[in-house]
Amino acid sequence: MSANDRPSGQQPKTYDSAFLKACRREPVPHTPVWFMRQAGRSLPEYLKVREGIPMLESCMRPELVTEITLQPVRRHKVDAAIYFSDIVVPLKAIGIDLDIKPGVGPVVAEPIRRRQDLERLRDLTPEDIGYVTEAIGMLTGELGATPLIGFAGAPFTLASYLVEGGPSRNHEHTKALMYGDPELWADLLDRLADITATFLKVQIEAGASAVQLFDSWVGALTPVDYRRSVMPASAKVFDAVASYGVPRIHFGVGTGELLRLMGEAGADVVGVDWRVPLDEAARRVGPGKALQGNLDPAVLFSTPEAIETKTREVLDAAAGLEGHVFNLGHGVLPTTDPDALTRLVEYVHTRTAR
């Protein structure tokens, strides 16, 4: 199926939403908006329903996932929902001993660094994540015309957590493995690509109308290393979901030098952080792709006037693009004022109404 046919099972009103049209580079009634990490600690209603429930456990409760996913749609009137989960959920589901520590991030009990460690990375099956299918079934019923974005962590970013054992600034163990044992590295990324592909397929088959691959930390690499050591695995993931005909978004932080390759890996939409203006990003990416981004999330801590000025700069840089999905350049920061997000959605909608 081509990306311009309606995927089977998708409602026409969802297919015709501003978000999915922008992803397909079709004319839109207004620039669609959603925010990475829109569900989460910036919302008091999120903190309330999460009280006393550990992060990973909350990802396995379909009713809670449904409620948390809907919260930012109700409050901010964003143009898309993003499925509430985490990039390490599929790793937990195959039995990797890991936890998400508040204020820290994912922590892996036994890092993966040797050939025999790969045995712990067994295939993911749809039965391992029945709660994902169940939650998305509930969600698509509640969302009506609002599209649901499914997501996964990309092989490099997942490998970084597995090899380092937790969050890392310099990714030194990861790079040591990548340069020192290219064969083991390729096998590790290939296994992660299969797990990631299954995680995305389950979400699409349950009703997600777009998917985003988060390669958050890939900006740590040179283009040469990216092309040789990472791109084949990310391309395998995109290939595996191509036949569904849902837009595929590819995002990373600090990826100014990688934007073209990230598009070439198989994305329909390339996510851009705030460091590269969107007109320049479009030149780097080349034709045939929509762009997503790219207001600096820290701008939301400024005055309403400054937020509008910086938002206008993003919209002006995007004015000549064929497809633009407005977003922040990275996730919503935890202490962001939720009202600033609501006002931002309204501002972008009003300012771009056609």
**Which of 25/238 has CB closer to ligand CP3?**
238
Asked whether residue 86 is marked as a ligand-binding residue, the answer is yes
38 binds ligand CP3 (CB under 6 A): yes
Contact call for residues 174 and 235 (beta carbons, < 8 A): no
Those residues with Cβ within 8 angstroms of residue 15's Cβ, 6 or more apart along the chain or in another chain: 6, 7, 209
Q: Is 191 noted as a catalytic residue in this protein?
A: no
Shortest distance in whole angstroms from residue 81 CB to ligand CP3: 9
Q: Considering all CA atoms of the chain, what is the largest pairwise distance in Å, rounded to the nearest integer? A: 58
Footprint of ligand CP3 on residues 149-188 (CB under 6 A)? 151
Nearest to 156 by CA among 215, 78, 206: 215
**Which of 102/180 has CB closer to ligand CP3?**
102
Asked whether residue 41 is marked as a ligand-binding residue, the answer is yes
Give the residue, chosen from 6, 21, 30, 37, that forms a contact with ligand CP3 under the rule CB under 6 A.
Answer: 37
Annotated catalytic residue: which of 6, 37, 120, 351? 37
DSSP 8-state code for residue 124: P
Shortest distance in whole angstroms from residue 140 CB to ligand CP3: 16
Those residues with Cβ within 8 angstroms of residue 19's Cβ, 6 or more apart along the chain or in another chain: 32, 34, 79, 80, 147, 210, 325
Q: State how far the Cα of 153 lies from the Cα of 311, in Å rounded to an integer.
A: 28
For β-strands 98-101 and 105-108, DSSP reports them as: antiparallel
Total H helices, total E strands in the chain: 16, 9
Q: Is 131 noted as a catalytic residue in this protein?
A: no
Site string for ligand CP3, 48-87 (x = CB under 6 A): -------x--------------------------x-x-xx
Q: Is 41 noted as a catalytic residue in this protein?
A: yes
Give the residue, chosen from 216, 234, 292, 311, that forms a contact with ligand CP3 under the rule CB under 6 A.
Answer: 216
Asked whether residue 268 is marked as a ligand-binding residue, the answer is no
Q: Which residues define the annotated binding site for substrate?
A: 37-41, 86, 161, 216, 330
Q: Which are the catalytic amino acids?
A: 37, 41, 50, 86, 161
